Amino acid sequence: MPEVWESALNGRSGIGPITHFDASELTTRIAGEVKDLDPSAVMDQKEIRRSDSFLQFVNVACLEALQDSGLDMTAEDPYRVGVVVASGIGGIKILEDQSVLAQEKGLMRVSPFFVPMMIIDMAAGDLSIRHGFKGPNYATVSACASAGHALLDSWNLIQLGYADVMITGGSEAPITPLATAGFARMKAMSTRNDEPERASRPFDAGRDGFVMAEGSSIIVLETLEHARARGAKIYAEFVGGGITADAFHMTAPDANGTGGEMSMRIALEMAGLEPADVDYINAHGTSTPLNDAIESKAIMRVFGDHTADLAISSTKSMTGHLLGASGALEFMFLTLALQQGEIPPTINYEDPDPDCALNYTPNASVKRALEVGLSNSFGFGGHNVTLAARKFHEEA
């Protein structure tokens, strides 16, 4: 986490040429790949061979989150610790490989581990088995809003009394031939292949599509009483969220942005906040022509005159788009910004778009006292999630 946060604050892009497979025939040949992953600290070699990358990512992320949080399961009631982990497409590489194997060698050559290696809920199930989490356990799947739903579900489960602690977030490993080809054929991704680090440019007039990325982010949520009782390091207070649907189109956002607007309004209402309370928004900001303009207009309608005082940024400009895991990573960035009083930038913002006329924290991080922030996640199918967080004060 420290390295990722430092890179974000310094505006370092993680986008480069695709190396996972030969992408030479595709119109998009760049992505945000995880480099130098070593899951051996938490998985043995047999488990690694039998697992998709999305499962390896989530195991490493969970181990880091537990170590950072200091959560000691030997001191916990395991039925009060749950897991909700999201993914948009799960083990799609396993699906692709096994499909080819079946066609070339016959159906009886399909691996007996094929189904558990592929299904999305196995991330939550595997973490439960590995660490002894026996509370609520499932996956959320809502395209690029998946991790936002996972976090909000986890918050609600704690609020409703089902758990004291929830391990939550998302994991995605979509940089595969079929998944990349699918998005490329939709013309949803940037084709700025010759300058990958400049390809993701949310809100810039020259944006031409999102840049796909992979990875995992896991967050430990718990009641304040539980955190204080065990002396936990508290980053921020999760205060509420909003969820809506566009009911408009399979892939395009509602042209009026009313779904995203209402998710922000509901998040504020659930959190007991006024628009003027919000200092920072980690925007969905995908670098697609439609999303960025529509999200900007929705923000302006929600915040009115206060919009001029808002700081906004899209960290996808550096990380790329982790699809179903993006909401968890971006909520992590939000909590760190609140805690440390520094806003990560939107890099590659060079040519302002008149349809995107807000303060996007262009190209360099900004130090600023922050109290309240939002994080937006919008997904194919018209799914909208807005999460709200507040800076934690020990005297609170």
Of 131, 149, 226, 321, which residue is the catalytic one? Answer: 321
What one-letter code names the amino acid at 377? S
Token reading at 301:
């309608």
| φ/ψ of residue 222, rounded to 5 | -155, 165
Please, is 273 exposed, middle or buried when counting C-beta atoms within 10 Å of its C-beta (0-12, 13-18, 19+)?
A: middle
Q: How many C-beta atoms surround the C-beta of residue 65 within 10 A?
A: 20
d(CA 245, CA 247): 6
The torsion region of residue 169 among left (phi > 0), alpha (psi -120 to 50) and beta comes to left
Q: Is the Cα dihedral 172, 32, 12, 206 positive or negative?
A: negative
151's enclosing H/E stretch is helix 146-159
The single residue of 131, 149, 226, 284 carrying the catalytic annotation is 284
* Alpha carbon distance 266, 244 (integer Å): 9
Query: Own/partner pairs for 189-196, CB < 8 Å, 24+ apart?
Result: 189/27, 189/28, 190/28, 190/30, 190/287, 191/27, 191/28, 192/30, 193/17, 193/28, 193/29, 193/30, 196/13, 196/15, 196/16, 196/17, 196/30
> Active-site residue 144, yes or no?
yes
Which helix (H) or strand (E) segment holds residue 232: the answer is none
What single string gives the DSSP state of each residue in 159-209? HTTS-SEEEEEEEE---SHHHHHHHHHTT-B---TT-GGGT--TTBTT---
Contacts of 279 (CB under 8 A, 6+ apart): 309, 310, 311, 368, 369, 370, 371, 372, 373
DSSP classification of residue 37? -
| Residue 149 annotated in active site | no
Q: Cα(151)–Cα(86) distance, rounded to whole angstroms?
A: 9
Q: How far apart are CA 110 and CA 25, in angstroms?
A: 28
Q: Which of 144, 149, 356, 383 is catalytic?
A: 144
The answer to whether 378 and 228 are in contact (CB under 8 A) is no
Which sequence positions are flagged as catalytic?
A: 144, 284, 321
